[in-house]
Structure 1
Amino acid sequence: MAKKLVIKVTAGADAPERCSQAFTVAAVAAASGVEVSLWLTGESSWFALPGRAAEFELPHAAPLPDLIEGIRAAGGLITLCTQCAARRGIEEKDLIEGARIAGAQVFVSEAMADGVQALVY
């Protein structure tokens, strides 16, 4: 089994099932003891802001705030893409607790490390 799972989610409310799958996989992996790094890009960027995940709804899916809390509680890392943040006027001070902003170089470094599996949704 991979020591670390890096997940890049590009979808938000525009593709709710794909978005929910990414957060669900991240939360389940984190709860299973896998080190998780969840990258928010594109429309999922908005979920790095307080309260925005609570606005997301998908029938028969776990609420995003619960999934995010599960990821963070297990020590998972949530990162907002630098360019995506800039395009939306989001700054580090705006983020949910424990989230960060980082760019492609950091993503590539994480995804290419030994023992890492990377998924894109």
Structure 2
Amino acid sequence: MTRPLVVKVTAGMDAPERCSQAFTVAAVAVAAGTDVSVWLTGESAWFALPGRAAEFDLPHAAPLPDLLAGILAGGRVTVCTQCAARRSFGPDDVIPGVRIAGAAAFVDEVLADGVQALVY
């Protein structure tokens, strides 16, 4: 049995390798049957919007739209409330399956029994 995994992604196009690592780890964990929750914060919040993941390019890395789709197929993706507000978007703007929630929801997830948390 695998333990649930929460991955907090803080990097976007500003730090592409770190961003790609976070999405890759999350997607591989989903594919392995792990209960995965990905939190998009800071610059990674932009990837909650339609078409933004397709703008990401990192040589020798899996395409971000494919990783995101894999995560959404078997896990959860949440955008930080404040991060979305600072970028002027809301629940009606994000791709299907993505939710917007605040710090209390994040804390609840990472403090749950047996959860592993990673920050990128």
**Alignment partner, residue 46 of structure 2:** 46
Question: 5+ residue gaps in structure 2?
Answer: none
Q: State the match for 1:117 in structure 2.
A: 116
Contact 1:2–1:117 under 8 Å retained in 2: no
How far apart, CA to CA, are the structure 2 residues paired with 1:25 and 1:50? 22
Instruction: Kindly report which structure 2 residues correspond to 1:50-61, keeping only aligned pairs within 5 A, or say none.
Output: 50-61=50-61
Q: Report % sequence identity.
A: 73
Match of 1:12 in 2: 12
Instruction: Note the C-alpha offset of 1:2.
Output: 4.2
Q: Which TM-score applies when normalising by structure 1?
A: 0.97
- Determine the C-alpha separation between the residues in 2 that align with 1:41 and 1:118: 14
Instruction: Find the counterpart in structure 2 of residue 88 from structure 1.
Output: 87
Aligned residue identity for 1:63: P
Amino acid at match of 2:18: R
CA RMSD of aligned residues (A): 0.8
Moved over 4 A (4+): none
Opposite residue 79 of structure 1, the aligned amino acid is T
| Aligned counterparts of 1:28 and 1:78: Cα–Cα separation in 2 | 15
For residues 18-60 of structure 1, the C-alpha deviation after alignment (integer angstroms, 9 at most, x for no partner) is 0000000000000000000000000000000000000000000
Give the deviation of 1:117 after TM superposition.
0.2
Q: 1:49 and 1:72 mapped to 2: Cα distance?
A: 14
Q: Give, in whole Å, the separation in 2 of the partners of 1:23 and 1:16.
A: 11
State the secondary structure of the residue aligned to 1:93: coil
1:78-99 Cα deviation digits (max 9, x unpaired)? 0000000010001100001100
SS at match of 1:6: strand
Distance 1:36 1:80 in 2: 14
* Number of equivalenced pairs: 120
